[in-house]
Structure 1
Amino acid sequence: MEKPTRLALLKEIAEFLNEETETYDMMQGALKFLIDGSDFTTGWIFFIDNEGNHGLVSDTNLPGALVKNNCQYMQEGTCWCVQAYSNEKLTKASNIINCSRINLATKAHYQETDGITHHATVPLRSGREQFGLLNVATPYTKSYSEEDLELLESVAFQIGSAIKRIWLTDQEKEAARINERNRLARDLHDSVNQMLFSVKLTAHAAKAMSKEEMSKNAFNTIETTSQQAVNEMRALIWQLKPIGLEHGLINALSSYSEMMKLNLNVQVDGLINVPSLIEENVYRILQEAINNVKKHAHTDEIYLKLSQQQNYLNIEFEDNGSGFNINHNTEHVSHGLNNMRQRVKMINGKINIQSSYEQGTKINLIIPIKVD
């Protein structure tokens, strides 16, 4: 099949990116367009945080040597590309003369490299904001032409712009969701919850006035059922709007833990002062963590430490429960962890989860206070 011209390829990628609304699907699709429509045969994308830690977030057609052990050579350690990116010395599409990742993989599995010995790389950026690196390679190629590097630069610019657009859209959607949840919580509290409480009080009064045993039993059933409905309504309102968050994050988390019959041990270093959108998302992240403790950890003790240093909020959440295998957890646990990771990503934070059987679970969050 004949490959499109470079202009046609850029047009195809641009049209694809304009329709995408999910970051990782967008990057995987754009990378595949690039590899299928050019002379490059393999590619991968690193996300890199402010501390220089990288993560492999997308790849296509990686040779067997680089795929070994769950992409071990791509995931572990550092390399010149990541270091130069973090030091702001890698600012444009460049040939990489010596790639330590490819060298290590080749040394261990030289028969499975598919001829990949060198690669080219380019930062993903939108304006002054950078997200990571786009890397491509072709068999038996040590140096890529200026035309190849120009193509790489153009695609990287498109992907970087799409990442920023999606992240901004997600933040706007989350703000709208928070406002709508707050409105629903107010409506439920002011109407349905009050009506259920009135039914409970009426049934209680009627039971006290009734002289027939059958009537007393009926009113008692109504009162009990109404109380259960009130409890469930309160729990629903908690999910929609954190009661107590207006008095601070610690107050809301303590109240929620108490409702879940868990003992939250809190240590706060310094003054915690964060914008409401971040506070709401941090609450939801920790609420999910508390739910996981209640459902899976078989312990009622939780330890939480918060500290704010300059423009970062540091959070340590720990339980001494049963723990789990972070790589082989159940569907329910995975869903909860994915929800947490998605919220962390939405506020440009970083999350690290450590857990093992009978050793409890530790969650560390680093959240930038100012979100662009």
Structure 2
Amino acid sequence: MPEEVKIQDMVTLKTIAETLNTSNDLSLMLDTVVGKLLELTGLTAGWLFLIDERGEYTCVSDYNLPPALIRNDKEPMRSGTCWCINRFKDGRLQHAVNIINCKRLEDAVEFKWGDTQDITHHATVPLRSGERMLGLLNVAAPGKEVFSDSELALLQAVAYQIGSAMERMRLYRAEQRRAELYARLGDFGTALSIAVNECTEANAALSGIVAKLLGKHFDWPVAALIQQTNGTYIVQAMFADGEVWKDADAPLTLEGTHLMDRIVDHYRASMFSADEVVEIFSQSKLDRICNELTSGIGVPLPYHAPEEPGVLVIGTRVRSLDLIKADSEVLEALAEHITASRESQKLADHRHELARLEERNRLARDLHDSVNQILFSLSLTARGAESMLSDTEPVHPAAEVLRDIQALSQEALKEMRALIMQLRPAGLEAGLLSALQEYGAKQGLQVATERKGMRAIPRFIEEGLWRIGQEALNNIRKHAGVFSTCILLEFSDNEAKLTISDRGKGGAKRRKSSSESSLGLSIMRERAQSLGGRLELWSSSRKGTTVTAVIPLPFETQ
């Protein structure tokens, strides 16, 4: 090789190296280096394809393309395939080579797309960094059909420089993205903690809060919380199109369900293709947004019970696998934050429940020490006065009135004691059935109890069943006309069933039409519904009344 050619090649490589180090913006850097390379080598046109791990290519830079290749917003460079890309995908393009015929230019001539400026051939050079294949660099000039070995060697050296610079920028962008996401994660965690402390409702409210904060603190076009209920995955809350969508009615498709199961079964983040993201949100009426998404990530939410798993899913417009991996890493940390907020809300609910219990206990003590004592004194006074007036001859007319006062005060005292017991359910420590049996005995009822199955239940469910049982026993005492009842408590893996039955005169269904008499039934039904369950009523004038409360139970860890 002549000395001046070597010097020119060294100057070219030096200039390219300096150009590559002038910017951290990939697009600007590539445009600049392609233009500089053509200037130094005397070539006239060049273009650069980036090809991702899935084999999808993008023309990220071009310089002085002939008119035939820039028609319709450079459609020939955005669609179709060619020899160099095919060889790159199947691993046969390892070095700089001459392309005898360019399919894109051949199509331009065949379909008369426009002037090719006498460009028929080009050299193609694979871009790589180590073993990592990145894309292709193509260069051409009018009338030039063959590139010499020295020209190809120079192009190969330049391609190595470009590949190394691209790798450096790839790592820089990934770390920059990761640092940015972790900063946003900190702000998200702070905002979520504040919101949870102010939240007074349960799961649905928390899901809406999380979706809103995801939209506020991150740049993902779509973020959704998906939960499986009764074997069906449903979007619980979602941020999309600048707003929060809650409680979507339509379940995921069968294919979307399989994708969610894949995440849950693997216990880690999984990446989705653009088509898979569209499938997941196909029932959400977000066609416009979904069609703009290029990838997605899903991560399991471990705070749900195993039979009702949850998944956090995002959709992105990012194509770079490295950036997607950075998002995936932060998404797993997000899942931990959401889980922690869920546990914090449970603790807050528990604290509120303890505060309510303490307030009821205080009220029960105050009623016992004041109103209860006054009623007891009234009853004794009326009995004493009635006794004195009954001993006179003739019996004083007021004696009958005092007997009525005594009876009324006794009834009021009994009601007050029942109210105090409802406020302060002493006796639950011995079990729900024992407490109800004791309560029934104080109401003058004979209570037979039976239990089927054994398992621990949360305190709030036990107390809810206690209240329902109390009200049912009160109704039996007041309306059934009998003094015996049967209580059956049954447990299955996922629900508790409390059944209170009597052989009285029935009439519960008739009382439902009276707002005054149906108050007790309404209270029982509302209590069952507040626990996520239902109340069933059966009543007959010949066979009595049966009230059944069915309450779902949370998953019991082993």
Same fold (TM over 0.5): yes
Q: RMSD over aligned Cα, in angstroms?
A: 5.3
Count of equivalent residues? 332
Partner of 1:227: 410
Partner of 1:35: 215
Partners of 2:467 and 2:556 lie apart in 1 by 21
Please say if 1:17 is aligned against 2:17: no
What CA deviation, in whole Å up to 9, does each residue of 1:90-145 have, x standing for no partner?
A: 22x32235998963874xx797533427642212347xx99732222257989882
Please say if 1:281 is aligned against 2:460: yes
Partners of 1:99 and 1:334 lie apart in 2 by 46
Partner of 1:158: 337
**Higher radius of gyration, 1 or 2:** 2
Q: Return closer, same or farther for 1:84/1:227 CA change in 2, 3 Å cut-off.
A: farther
Please say if 1:203 is aligned against 2:382: yes
SS for the counterpart of 2:416 is helix
Partners of 1:281 and 1:201 lie apart in 2 by 39
Q: Is the 8 A contact 1:188 1:237 kept in 2?
A: yes
Alignment of 1:237-248 (within 5 A): 237-248=420-431
Q: Is the 8 A contact 2:272 2:296 kept in 1?
A: yes
SS for the counterpart of 2:334 is helix
Partners of 2:410 and 2:334 lie apart in 1 by 59
AA matched with 1:219: L
Partners of 1:78 and 1:318 lie apart in 2 by 41
Partner of 1:345: none
Q: CA deviation at 1:209?
A: 1.4
What CA deviation, in whole Å up to 9, does each residue of 1:314-348 have, x standing for no partner?
A: 522468987x9xxxxxx97885345324xxxxxxx
Partners of 1:287 and 1:72 lie apart in 2 by 37
Q: Return closer, same or farther for 1:119/1:41 CA change in 2, 3 Å cut-off.
A: same
Partner of 1:328: none
Q: Return closer, same or farther for 1:228/1:29 CA change in 2, 3 Å cut-off.
A: same
SS for the counterpart of 2:425 is coil
Partners of 1:291 and 1:55 lie apart in 2 by 37
Partners of 1:48 and 1:208 lie apart in 2 by 70
Structure 2 unaligned blocks of 5 or more = 1-179, 502-507, 513-521, 540-546
What CA deviation, in whole Å up to 9, does each residue of 1:2-28 have, x standing for no partner?
A: xxx645533432222222233543432
Q: CA deviation at 1:262?
A: 10
Q: Which structure would you say has the larger RCO, counting Cα contacts within 8 Å and 6 or more residues apart?
A: 1
Please say if 1:306 is aligned against 2:476: no
What CA deviation, in whole Å up to 9, does each residue of 1:133-163 have, x standing for no partner?
A: 2222257989882233234233322221111
Q: CA deviation at 1:362?
A: 6.3
AA matched with 2:340: S
Q: CA deviation at 1:34?
A: 1.2
Partners of 1:32 and 1:282 lie apart in 2 by 31
Alignment of 1:1-372 (within 5 A): 6-7=181-182, 9-19=184-194, 20-21=196-197, 22=199, 23-24=202-203, 25-47=205-227, 56-61=235-240, 71-74=249-252, 79-84=257-262, 86-87=264-265, 89-91=266-268, 93-97=269-273, 103=279, 106=282, 113-116=287-290, 119-125=296-302, 132-138=310-316, 145-178=324-357, 181-182=360-361, 184-185=363-364, 188-189=367-368, 192-210=371-389, 213=396, 215-216=398-399, 219-220=402-403, 222-254=405-437, 267-269=450-452, 272=454, 274=456, 278=457, 280-287=459-466, 289-290=468-469, 304-307=488-491, 314-317=495-498, 336-337=527-528, 339-341=530-532, 353=534, 363-367=550-554
What CA deviation, in whole Å up to 9, does each residue of 1:8-59 have, x standing for no partner?
A: 533432222222233543432232121244332333223568x977665433
Partners of 2:320 and 2:353 lie apart in 1 by 45
Structure 1 unaligned blocks of 5 or more = 325-330, 342-351
Q: Return closer, same or farther for 1:94/1:184 CA change in 2, 3 Å cut-off.
A: same
AA matched with 1:231: K
Q: CA deviation at 1:249?
A: 1.2
In the superposition, the TM-score normalised over structure 1's length comes to 0.64
SS for the counterpart of 1:114 is helix
SS for the counterpart of 2:288 is coil
Q: CA deviation at 1:237?
A: 1.5
Partners of 1:48 and 1:175 lie apart in 2 by 31
Q: CA deviation at 1:203?
A: 0.9
Q: CA deviation at 1:250?
A: 1.0
Worse overlay, 54-63 or 11-20: 54-63
What CA deviation, in whole Å up to 9, does each residue of 1:171-227 have, x standing for no partner?
A: 344345445544654564466424422321221221221257564365345424423
Worse overlay, 164-173 or 299-308: 299-308
Partners of 2:445 and 2:222 lie apart in 1 by 50
AA matched with 2:530: N
Partner of 1:347: none
Q: Is the 8 A contact 1:292 1:336 kept in 2?
A: no
Q: Return closer, same or farther for 1:216/1:131 CA change in 2, 3 Å cut-off.
A: farther
Q: Return closer, same or farther for 1:7/1:85 CA change in 2, 3 Å cut-off.
A: closer
Partners of 2:439 and 2:222 lie apart in 1 by 48
In the superposition, the TM-score normalised over structure 2's length comes to 0.46
Q: Return closer, same or farther for 1:243/1:122 CA change in 2, 3 Å cut-off.
A: same
SS for the counterpart of 2:490 is strand
